[in-house]
Amino acid sequence: MNGKVKEKNGVHTPTVAFLERDQIDFLDKLNKDYFAKFGHHLSRGHMLCELVDCLMRLNLDLNELDQDKENLCDFILRKAKDAQTPCS
């Protein structure tokens, strides 16, 4: 995303996400580490947008998911490893 919010037809589309406290703490830790290295902050929303962009690049097909064998997180990690496509 290169630090910019994407627009669709010139309009920003806000989305609300509910996260657990440990998930928020994890995003805040990533932000702290990023700030220490690069000198500026990343918003939680920006980090979530970047993660979604990475997922989009994987071209996931959830029809391939067999929930009897693996959960969604493991499926995504396996697909990311198989793709070996950088998300930058």
pLDDT digits (tens, 9 = 90+) for 19-73: 999 999 999 999 999 999 999 999 999 999 899 999 999 999 999 999 999 999 9
Residue 75, pLDDT > 80, answer yes
Decide if 88 contacts 50 (C-beta within 8 A): no
**Which is nearest to 87 in space by CA: 64, 61, 53, 62?**
53
pTM for this predicted structure: 0.72
Report CA dihedral (42, 44, 45, 49) to the nearest 10 degrees: 80
* Residue 67: both structure tokens together: 């929930």
In which residue are the tokens 């932000």 written?
A: 31
